[in-house]
Structure 1
């Protein structure tokens, strides 16, 4: 088969000159380059506390943040949730979709090459009626020259959307992990409350027996027995309610792990064993760190970058589109002679297309793209402000709870002493059973409040870790580095 080449040197020179001219024009890019929307970031958080003195390495991107609580069971549950949670799997699938869309956008920069082959038979009336056969084979190629950067801006937008989707995946994981940890801690505190009620019910039964004995001896009133019975049954009802609450926490954990509630159960911690976790020191960093350490903020920023790139796509429509095409091959009436020099055919072409009137469509799309960027920038600022608020809220909550727990512990100790004194006085016959009931009710209330404060403290600590990004970093998705002094929201 003879080699396929252009028949003249002049054609090669013309083709090279055309390619050089189009390459020079392709250096142009319409639309403003991206600049991150401006934010008024405070120099420090308003709330202060001892947790900010922790070493920065306590929670970082190289360590799974939930491990700082030191609970092997929690570590195992979150590891299972990372693999099986359906929300995370959906976010991962969406991320793969955006990666494929980015690859599709990048394909527009390359020529489209195709192969053709054909055979036909027809009748002609030239110089008499005759039947003719035709055979052909060849290659075709076409390439839209990105003169004004429309394709490059589309790739820029797709890349930003891919990064945003990766950030959304990280945010979904962090949300699932934090929610599971919060449910787990509340379940464990519920176990402690159930142990407390078991001890309390035993004490109330002994008190009820004491009241009955005093009544039988004629040193107490029938009302004392009734009070003791009421107190015991009320505590039993509350203990049953704790079981219902525990079941809900257990069901929630199962769902977060991608399992049906019937397929999961979590054994309670033994009554005589300490809780299997500790409250860690949580470094918060600086407010400026939040912009790079929260995946939801990073995602919103990348959406703003994608919206900015779409402005360039919209403005490229004002300019003509240049498409280069080429084809070459063989065509002849005899299949056996198809691959010979006389049957060789080729063509080169360039097509320039420009819209002259569209009823204002391009102008409307340009305005739509600018408005979309302004909306994305506002959303980015709003998400960032919400992030600052969430950190401040939980810093404040932890600071107040730290003081409240210290005072509550004193209240529990005082209530324990009051209960002991009331029982001693009742046995001696120097007080009524109402004093015993009051003291015991105060003790149970304060002990329950202490446990609830512990649960709130644990939940707030997890929320603070989540609010500060959980050790995640925006560098994990390698954001596109573009900069300019142009402001897209001011572009006309």
Structure 2
């Protein structure tokens, strides 16, 4: 036995250098060498870092800080990181021996024929055990746990980007909503003066009785639209309150401090090679780390099919009453040989391989989704940019037309119906221009999110 134990230990330590299962190779999806959609500013612009500051809107910056400081979504992502780190610690612990100590003390009284005797006993014991990592099962488990920590960190970065983009998008929607509400309210005020003029003209017999009814109906229609638009603005405020964790009065007070206009569009650098995007998107990086983890778990499943060798030992001390102290000890190896399990371990290998294949397929699909998302964002941004000039020209032209028809109506050379048609055209064109400019900024935000935001690979 004395010669067998060192041999078994030596063999175990030698075999523990073996690591079964496939070594991981990051997938390399086939991508086009360039983006197919036009790049904003020809692809030449400032970098993503501190991107939100380029809007030069302190209210937006304040909302971003508030949202990140108190976000249940980010807190949940951080908790997932801590869980993953705990899993890694648990996996690593199997590489080292375990040592447990226990002790007992008892005091008893026994009565025989009226005579009582008290006895005491004390015992202490140390138990040690160590399973040698013969075929790299534990090492592969550590590898998988490490990959999942990285995945959870990437998901936290992705949560930050998504939160920032959502706050910015809601803020831009709110500013655009306020501009639209202002346009409707301005029209409503203008219509009130039209009602007064129509009433005077009708009482003087210069116009038909239907003109007053038309002007009142038009004013009511515009007021209704203004009320609906204000309601939409209130809903956006409540969404901002929910995201930032603030109070509604506080957020409303903050919003009133800003400019009643849309934030300026920022400049965004887009890499000319789509493969660079793979290193920029944290959600994609998280999925790739899951591929690495499932690959490592194949090695765990394979190693589970093979023998395992453990070393165990214990030493104990016991004492009873006033007598002497006794010492016991034991040590030795334990070898486990899997002989028959009705295919359970083989099925575990198949399951691990299938999990890897599924993770790899998810990654490949995500790559396609990411490229599509960027391409669509680029197209939307380019389309909105090319439409703005025509939309601005249309708004200016319809406004000049309305001013001319309005002057003609006041002079009595145009009907109120002509004036109302010109007014509707001018209002529709103004609303279309505001909506388009709002969409331009929202497209920039969508592109920011699609390209991975301000996240950068550490190290």
Q: Which residue of 1 aligns with 2:133?
A: 146
Q: Which residue of 1 aligns with 2:221?
A: 234
Q: How does 1:92-103 map to 2 (within 5 A)?
A: 92-103=78-89
**Corresponding residue to 1:196 among 180, 183, 208:** 183
Q: Which residue of 1 aligns with 2:212?
A: 225
1:472 aligns with 2:455: yes
Distance 2:131 2:153 in 1: 30
1:30-80, Cα deviation, whole Å (9 max, x unpaired): 1101112231122111111333433453x12xx3x3222111111111111
Determine if contact 2:374/2:450 at 8 Å carries over to the other structure: yes
Determine if contact 2:100/2:127 at 8 Å carries over to the other structure: yes
Determine if contact 1:326/1:349 at 8 Å carries over to the other structure: yes
1:438 aligns with 2:429: no
Q: 1:134 to 1:49 in 2, by over 3 A?
A: closer
Distance 1:254 1:274 in 2: 19
1:260 positional shift: 6.1
1:206-234, Cα deviation, whole Å (9 max, x unpaired): 22223233333333222222221111111
1:248 positional shift: 0.7
Q: Which residue of 2 aligns with 1:373?
A: 356
1:146 positional shift: 0.5
Size of the alignment, in residue pairs? 449
Q: Which residue of 2 aligns with 1:360?
A: 343
Q: Which residue of 2 aligns with 1:29?
A: 19
Q: How does 1:238-249 map to 2 (within 5 A)?
A: 238-249=225-236
1:128-169, Cα deviation, whole Å (9 max, x unpaired): xxx998754342211010001111111111111121111122
Secondary structure of 2:279 counterpart: helix
Q: Which residue of 1 aligns with 2:200?
A: 213
Moved more, 421-430 or 76-85: 421-430
**Corresponding residue to 2:380 among 384, 393, 397:** 397
1:27 positional shift: 0.7
Q: Which residue of 2 aligns with 1:47?
A: 37
Secondary structure of 1:36 counterpart: coil
**Corresponding residue to 1:114 among 84, 97, 100:** 100
Distance 1:336 1:172 in 2: 68
Q: 1:14 to 1:133 in 2, by over 3 A?
A: farther
Q: Which residue of 2 aligns with 1:105?
A: 91
Determine if contact 1:71/1:276 at 8 Å carries over to the other structure: no
**Corresponding residue to 2:405 among 422, 433, 449:** 422
**Corresponding residue to 1:68 among 45, 54, 66:** 54
| TM-score, length-scaled by structure 2 | 0.91
Distance 1:284 1:52 in 2: 9
**Corresponding residue to 1:412 among 388, 391, 395:** 395
| TM-score, length-scaled by structure 1 | 0.85
Secondary structure of 1:293 counterpart: coil
1:346 positional shift: 3.2
Distance 2:336 2:251 in 1: 64
Determine if contact 1:416/1:443 at 8 Å carries over to the other structure: yes
